[in-house]
């Protein structure tokens, strides 16, 4: 259990948090988009260059996390190794600890840091599920709070409420006092996740749809196309009427409760999975649960811990077999509970590694142990410059200068680990279409063992096990009950049977790729 007990410990945590350099970092980009006017006449599209519009949907939200009943996780002492790993929040100090010297003088910085990474004056709390709405409202009033919303989340077996602080109390003070009530099980900030537009250098891109060749999608689709597999896309709004989605079963859900229209990011992510008219997604026959959890804001788009948890609950409750999470942010306790619950239900979770670059600490949900983390590569099999690195990377997939759908029947050229993640979610759907009984760890094993090794021999922090290979993956599953180990990658210098069958590219893929603008 995770109950907040001490304000001093929170201050100590910020001291360690700021020492990692996160306090000065901007939001983390998961995609870098631009939207030219495209005139696509075939699966190898041509396009007319028009005015370039840059869209950079980005999710971030680094903040203090890990509040436990009777304890608060703090980063003091925080070693150099901890800071390098971006993990100074895993140590525990009890509520009886006195204020440390390292925390002194950081009160103002604490408020500023939390203000930029959380929703001001809001807290998320697990409360006694037997309380009526009137009783919850009375509970909130006793502690100077106002209930915004509360609901029972079947996914995690808990009732979670979203509360606004009515007076002038700080989030820390209000949380500490609220956590001491016997009807309150847990308290944490309502973390902020942001979609952010960001301009980058212009580039003509490559209209050959190299991703379909790199992933060997045509060959894979001759074996499996994702039919009867449900993929939940937790993202911004999707243009359900786009021509690329004709005939696809897309069931929309709105975790925001607003009337906003579709967004380029969500439409592009869905397109990487189920496009099938002029473009080719990785699982064109899959069923999509379009869970809108990100809404427009001054920064391009925004979501919170509470809304993302609603998205996870919707996905699990409506039969998702795979959940795609093309965003990154903090190690959020309530989201971690949701991910653990998905894993317990044998739901495959795929997430973008993040676009914070080589010096970034691990980002979540990708760094969660139950998640398949995906980095991005370009047409020359080079790592996307902005892609995160780390031992948690499972594999890579194309993610630079991609042609994908955009709202209003348009198309876009876009880059980012958001779309690498989406391609791999589609590959997971192909694998499950071949064998629906596979568990998440088995799906991960298939994808990793059949990946084409890039970089140094063996797994590495950039490409993980290598670049995803749809045809090799579905071929491995087609080997009936044969052990997955049969799909081991060949030794250095050897050529596998599937590599021998790999078709030659139909055109030159050496066009320069878009330079990534560092966050």
Q: What does the pLDDT look like over 98-127, one tens digit per residue?
A: 333 333 334 444 444 445 678 899 999 999
Query: For residue 40, what pLDDT band results from cuts at 50, 70 and 90?
Result: very low
Residue 336 near residue 330, CB atoms below 8 Å: no
Looking at the structure, do residues 293 and 171 belong to the same domain, yes or no?
Answer: no
pLDDT band at 257 (very low <50, low <70, confident <90, very high): confident
For residue 420, is the peptide bond before it cis, meaning its omega torsion is within 30 degrees of 0?
Answer: no
| Distance from C-alpha of 487 to C-alpha of 485, rounded to nearest angstrom | 5
Residue 51: per-residue pLDDT = 30
Residues 263, 340, single domain; the answer is: yes
486 domain residue, yes or no: no
Q: Classify residue 246: in a domain, yes or no.
A: yes
For residue 191, say if its preceding peptide bond is cis, omega within 30 degrees of 0.
Answer: no
Q: In terms of domains, do 186 and 243 share one?
A: no
Tell which of 174, 190, 206 closes a domain: 190
What's the total number of domains in the chain? 2
Considering the domain architecture, whether residues 427 and 297 belong to the same structural domain is answered as yes
Burial class (CB in 10 A: 0-12, 13-18, 19+), 162: buried
pLDDT(343) > 70: yes
pLDDT at res. 412: 92
Domain end call among 190, 223, 242: 190
Predicted confidence (pLDDT) at residue 500 exceeds the cutoff of 50: no
Q: Are residues 162 and 249 in the same domain?
A: no
Top mean-pLDDT range of 25-29, 116-120, 144-148: 144-148
Residues annotated catalytic, as ranges: 235, 265, 418
Domain assignment of residue 203, yes or no: yes
Domain hosting residue 160, numbered range: 117-190
CA 15 to chain centroid: 27
- What is the domain-level CATH number for residue 409? 3.40.50.200
> What mean pLDDT comes out for the span 175-185?
96
Determine the average pLDDT of the residues in 390-408: 95
Q: Read off the pLDDT of residues 279-335 as tens digits, 9 standing for 90 and up.
A: 999 999 999 999 999 987 666 678 999 999 999 999 999 999 999 999 888 889 999
What sign does the CA torsion over 320, 323, 329, 334 have? positive
Tell whether the model's pLDDT for residue 96 goes beyond 90: no
Half-sphere exposure of 341 (CA within 13 A, CB side): 20
305 and 182 both lie in a single domain: no
236 shares a domain with 186: no
Q: Which of the listed residues 146, 162, 190 is the one where a domain comes to its end?
A: 190
Verify that 238 and 126 share a domain, yes or no.
no
Residue 269 falls inside a structural domain: yes
CATH number at residue 163: 3.30.70.60
Q: What are the φ and ψ backbone dihedral angles of 126, each rounded to 5 degrees?
A: -85, 125
Distance CA(111)–CA(172), nearest Å, equals 9
- What are residue 13's phi and psi, to 5 degrees? -65, -40
Q: Is residue 87 part of a domain?
A: no
Same domain, yes or no, for 126 and 235? no
Residue 41 lies inside a defined structural domain of this protein: no
Instruction: Indicate whether 56 belongs to any domain.
Output: no
Measured CA to CA, the distance from residue 430 to residue 426 in angstroms comes to 6
Residues 441 and 328 placed together within one structural domain of the fold: yes
β-strand partners of 126: 160, 186
Is position 146 within any domain?
A: yes
202, 184: one domain: no
Kindly state whether residues 254 and 167 are assigned to the same domain: no
């Amino acid at each position: 259990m995770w109950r907040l007990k001490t304000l001093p410990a929170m201050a100590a945590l910020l001291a360690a948090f700021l020492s990692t350099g996160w306090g000065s970092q901007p939001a983390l980009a998961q995609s870098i988009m631009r939207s030219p006017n495209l005139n696509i006449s075939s699966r190898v599209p041509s396009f007319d260059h028009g005015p370039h519009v840059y869209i950079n949907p980005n999710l971030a939200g680094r903040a203090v996390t890990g509040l436990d009943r009777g304890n608060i996780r703090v980063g003091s002492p925080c070693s150099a190794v901890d800071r390098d790993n971006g993990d100074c929040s895993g140590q525990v100090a009890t509520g009886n600890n006195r204020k440390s010297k390292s925390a002194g003088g950081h009160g103002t910085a604490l408020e500023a840091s939390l203000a930029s990474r959380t929703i001001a004056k809001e807290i998320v709390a697990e409360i006694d599920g037997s309380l009526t709405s009137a009783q919850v409202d009375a509970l909130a009033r006793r502690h100077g709070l106002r209930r915004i919303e509360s609901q029972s989340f079947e996914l995690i077996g808990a009732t979670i409420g979203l509360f606004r602080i009515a007076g002038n109390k700080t989030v820390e003070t209000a949380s500490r006092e609220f956590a001491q009530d016997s009807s309150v099980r847990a308290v944490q900030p309502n973390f902020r996740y942001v979609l952010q537009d960001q301009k980058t250098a212009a580039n003509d891109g490559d209209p050959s749809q190299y991703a379909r060749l790199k992933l060997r999608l045509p060959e894979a689709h001759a074996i499996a196309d994702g039919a009867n597999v449900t993929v939940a896309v937790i993202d911004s709004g999707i243009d359900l009427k786009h021509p690329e989605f004709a005939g696809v079963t897309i069931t929309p859900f709105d975790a925001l409760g607003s009337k906003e229209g579709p967004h380029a990011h969500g439409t592009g992510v869905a397109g990487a999975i189920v496009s099938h008219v002029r473009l080719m997604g990785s699982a064109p026959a899959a069923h999509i649960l379009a869970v809108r959890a990100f809404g427009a804001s001054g920064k391009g788009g925004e979501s919170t811990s509470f809304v993302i948890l609603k998205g996870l609950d919707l996905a699990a409750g409506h039969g998702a077999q795979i959940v795609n999470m093309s965003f990154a942010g903090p190690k959020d306790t309530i989201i971690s509970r949701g991910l653990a619950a998905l894993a317990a239900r044998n739901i495959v979770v795929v997430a973008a590694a993040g676009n914070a670059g080589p010096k970034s600490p691990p980002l979540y949900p990708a760094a969660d142990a139950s998640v398949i983390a995906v980095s991005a590569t370009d047409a020359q099999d080079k790592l996307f410059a902005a892609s995160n690195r780390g031992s948690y990377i499972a594999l890579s997939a194309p993610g630079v200068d991609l042609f994908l759908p955009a709202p209003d029947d348009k198309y876009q050229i876009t880059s980012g680990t958001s779309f690498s993640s989406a391609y791999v979610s589609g590959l997971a759907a192909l694998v499950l279409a071949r064998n629906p009984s596979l568990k998440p760890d088995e799906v991960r094993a298939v994808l990793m063992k059949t990946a084409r090794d890039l970089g140094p021999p063996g797994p590495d922090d950039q490409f993980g096990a290598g670049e995803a290979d749809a045809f090799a993956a579905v071929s491995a599953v087609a080997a009936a009950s044969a052990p997955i180990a049969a799909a081991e990658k060949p030794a250095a210098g050897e050529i596998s049977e599937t590599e021998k069958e790999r078709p030659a590219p139909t055109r030159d893929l050496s066009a320069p790729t878009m330079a990534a603008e560092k966050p």
